[in-house]
Chain A
Amino acid sequence: MASSDITPDASPPRSPFMDWARGWMTTVDHKRLGVMYISSALLFFVVGGLEASAMRAQLSWSQLDLMEPGTFNTLFTMHGTTMVFLVGMPMLFGFANYLIPLMIGSRDLAFPRLNAVGFWIFFFSGCLLYYSSVGGEALYGLAGMPDVGWFAYAPLTAINYSPGNGPDYWLLFVLVGGIGSLATALNVVVTVATMRCEGMTPLRMPLLVWMISVACGLVLIAMPPLSAASIMMLFDRHFGSHFFDTQGGGSAVFWQHLFWFFGHPEVYILVLPGFAIVSEIIPVFSRKAIFGYPMMVAASVCIGVVAMGVWVHHMFTVGLTAGMNSFFAASTMIIAVPTGIKIFNWIGTMYGGRLHLKMPMLCCVAFLFQFLCAGLTGIMLAIAPFDFQLSDSYFVVAHFHFVLIGGLLFAIFGGLYYWFPKATGRMLGEKLGRWHFWLFLIGFNVTFGFMHIPGAMGMPRRIYTYQADRGWEIWNVISSAGVVLQAAGVCCLLVNIIRSARKGAVAGDDPWDAWTLEWATTSPPPEYNFEKPPKVHSRRPLWDLKHPDDTDGAYE
């Protein structure tokens, strides 16, 4: 603005590829950043999946040694870290970025440049984490990658016990990645607070906007303690402080508190976007308005609040007081109430509706069943004495994979099938989609359903291998076999995405006959989203336009 360019034609002609790359790297458009978040998340998802497959191969029978024990440690650390920080959270931010401005009828997020910096910090921090595989100082011939587990408990992370650079990479990754997450979460919350179009009162916002805002609010509260903790740990490792060093007067349990004060809300940071997606898809494919909208909003906020007060259920076996254990067992069980309300309301929405079992809806139905299972084992584990028995066993592993795969990932699959036409203008193939769905569904349940059994029989998580006489082999080999089906399913999804992006059926503006504002623009939407800022009169603005004789406004 300030200066005018006197030689406008001086720039040399560039190759189309460079133009393309430059376009993506300098963009501040929320839709492009959303697509980049989701594509990077898919990329890391494949990496994390390969790490998991390698572990399942190693565990498929007793006394195997397909890899070094140290490699196994790096695998489970990297798998967990990748899936939580480089798949789950970017998926959240990807969907938030792409959908929230469209759904609230705005042209972009509140801070578009901050949005870009958030994405690039996430992306580079992921690169830094994986750079450890070549850059980490190898000690005792082990890889230099982090190998301390995804919650990096003290005192294992102390410099005496983990002398290589592995934990440092993990700590730096968490610290830097946290900055990016904070930036984006703040951006989303401010956008929802300030950028809504005319008539979009809080109680008219789509449920997705509500739930993702709650998740971003949780990021704002839960992330800083983790950043602080990782700085303290770096000080312990390099500058001789003793925050977590019990011999030096510190407390190793303190790390657990700080980590899980982040770690449990993180579960809801991850799964609330899943709820958000499901809450958008189920009404459209049941041809009914969502059942009990105000209750859904209240339950989401309630989950956000209660999620801050349950973290000690990860520490029942530490040996805290009975009072502590009882309090946190109770608060954990209380979370089942708002979550139960949601499950009832989703079912209430489907009840009496005209169900269209297209791919997005199929994924949501699977979500409902599997997330319910996850919730039930969650209640079991919330009972402290039960947890004493099964903490750190494969039962817990099976439980949280039901939450994160059976719940979150299936919701994300549904979201991909639902909004892919909006983002690309083309439908994802339904036939290949069904292959993906059924292969993955069966594979997932085979792997993780059966995984509860060796867990209940006492198989601890994170072991490298096990004795032959435990009776665990049969369950482990079944679990590992399921991985083959899941991998085949994911291949179908990736092929489907690549193929449909080029030659899928043309979608049109509104392929699902849906009701929220993102369908009131072209597919893909233009850079400016809407020619004129929309004006809404109810929770389903497109319904009002389609059925002017029976608008929603009268009933709200």
Chain B
Amino acid sequence: MSQDDPADRETQAGAEEVIRLPAPTAWPIILAFGVVLMAATVVTNIVVGCFGFVILLAGAVGWWHDVFPVDQHEDVALAPEGKRVREIQPRPGQVDHLKVGEAQHRVRLPESIHPYSAGVRGGIAGGVVMAIFAVLHGVLDEDSFWFPVNLLAAVVMPGMADASLEQLKQFNGLALTVCLVVHGLVSVLLGLLYGVILPMLPSRHFLWGAVVLPLMWTGIVGATLGVVNPVLSEYVDWPWFIAAQVAFGLVTGLVVLRSEPIATLQTWPLAERVALEGRRAESEDRS
């Protein structure tokens, strides 16, 4: 223990190896008991609390002496020879590496993809074209530039949802901001999806991108619009809507497909792809 004569300990230390660890101490348990007793005052009696305070104080003072001026510690002797940890034995040459196709691992995945940035760019371009279509519709048919803006904003603006036709045709700053954010976000997200999905489709990417996907999206919107945005579903002009969607699909698909594809990890062996192992090439360099 720490109270040993220093000279004494030195001879001990000379005889066997020791490791210095914090000495066991009763003060934490005493202090904890004091804390809980003090809390118990509320449900018992002031006497309990006073008693708890005394114990807490004793614990605090004792603890102080544990760490001041020097931490109390004890020297623990190393375990006897036979009880020490066994050294770990190397077992070279026992590692199996996974190979592509082994145990029916899937291998049919695209070898190259369009960069995500192309999807984002496509989304922005498509979004702009779509907005032009929507505004054209507003100006030509409804005689208001702001009509489509307000309709879209109604998706998150409860005020717009209750607005009259007149109000829907007037400028509203908040609605414009909301519309820009919603339209921008959705366009970029859809563009990203295009970028990811198009190379995975079997063939005729352009047909998928410009016709099939916009029609599918229109179907989804048609089925849910009444719930998501009742105002828009009331005033929406479906031919214009579909035209705008197809325009979006055309432009986005074009931007995505014209981008330079980049190779994926799929050409690597599976074991390397799943980060089970690094590139073989590198490790061979190393050896």
Of all chain B residues, which has the CB nearest A522?
Answer: B85
Q: Are A121 and B26 touching (Cβ within 8 A)?
A: no
Known A26-B24, A113-B28, A348-B274: A509·B91 in contact at CB below 8 Å: no
Asked whether B43 lies within 8 Å of A547 as measured between CB atoms, the reply is: no
Q: With the chains together, A373 CA to B36 CA distance in Å?
A: 40
| Interface contact B90-A522, CB-CB below 8 Å | no
Q: Is A26 in contact with B85, judged by CB distance below 8 angstroms?
A: no
A321-365 vs B, CB cutoff 8 Å, 1 = contact: the mask equals 010000000000000000000000000100110000000000000
- Which of B22, B27, B36, B79 counts the most chain A CB atoms within 10 A? B36
Q: Find out whether the CB atom of B21 lies under 8 angstroms from the CB atom of A528.
A: yes
User: Is A46 on the interface with B (CB-CB < 8 A)?
Assistant: no
Q: Within the complex, which residue of B91, B276, B282 is in contact with A546, where a contact is CB–CB below 8 Å?
A: B91
Interface residues of A in 95-127 (CB under 8 A from B): 107-108, 112-114, 116-117, 119-121, 123-125, 127
Instruction: Give Cα A337–Cα B146 distance, bound, in whole angstroms.
Output: 37
Give chain B nearest CB distance to A553 CB in angstroms.
10
In chain B, what residue has the closest Cβ to A175? Answer: B39
A547-B94 in contact (CB<8A)? yes
Max count, chain B CB within 10 A of own CB: residue among A112, A123, A234 = A112
Interface residues on A, range: 35 or more
Q: What size tier do the contact residues of chain B reach?
A: 35 or more
Which chain B positions have C-beta within 8 A of A469?
Answer: none
- Asked if A149 is an interface residue, CB under 8 A from chain B, the answer is no
- In the bound assembly, the distance between CA atoms of A527 and B21 in angstroms comes to 8
Number of A-B contacts defined by CB within 8 Å: 160
A555 adjacent to chain B (CB < 8 Å): yes
Residue of A whose beta carbon sits closest to that of B36: A124
Whether B86 contacts A352 by the Cβ 8 Å rule is: no
Stretch in A1-9, A248-256, A305-313, A435-443 with 4+ CB within 8 Å of B: A1-9
Which residues from A are CB-within-8-Å of B33? Answer: 120, 124
**Distance A119 CA – B275 CA, assembled complex (angstroms):** 40
Determine how close the nearest CB of chain A comes to the CB of B254; give it in whole angstroms: 31
Choose from B76, B86, B105 the contact partner of A527 (Cβ within 8 Å).
B76
Q: Does B218 contact A (CB under 8 A)?
A: no
Please state if B32 and A124 are interface contacts (CB–CB under 8 Å): yes
Q: Is the CB of A169 within 8 A of B275?
A: no
A555 touches B36 (CB 8 A): no
Instruction: Digitize B37-52: 1 where CB-to-A-CB distance is under 8 Å, 0 elsewhere.
Output: 0011011100000000
Evaluate whether A550 and B29 lie within 8 angstroms (CB atoms) in the complex, with A23-B24, A520-B88, A531-B78 already known: no
Q: Is A526 an interface residue (CB 8 A)?
A: yes
Chain B residues, CB < 8 A from A549 = 90, 92-93, 95
Asked if B92 and A554 sit within 8 Å, CB to CB, the answer is: no
Show 14 residue pairs from A and B whose CB-CB distance is below 8 angstroms, ordered by the A residue. Answer: A4-B3, A4-B4, A29-B21, A29-B24, A107-B21, A113-B28, A113-B66, A114-B28, A121-B35, A352-B102, A352-B105, A522-B83, A545-B88, A554-B286
The 9 closest A-B pairs by CB, nearest first: A555-B278, A120-B32, A116-B28, A117-B28, A26-B24, A124-B36, A528-B19, A549-B92, A545-B88
Additional pairs, 6, CB under 8 Å, beyond known A116-B25, A117-B32, A289-B275: A4-B6, A107-B21, A124-B36, A526-B78, A531-B78, A554-B286
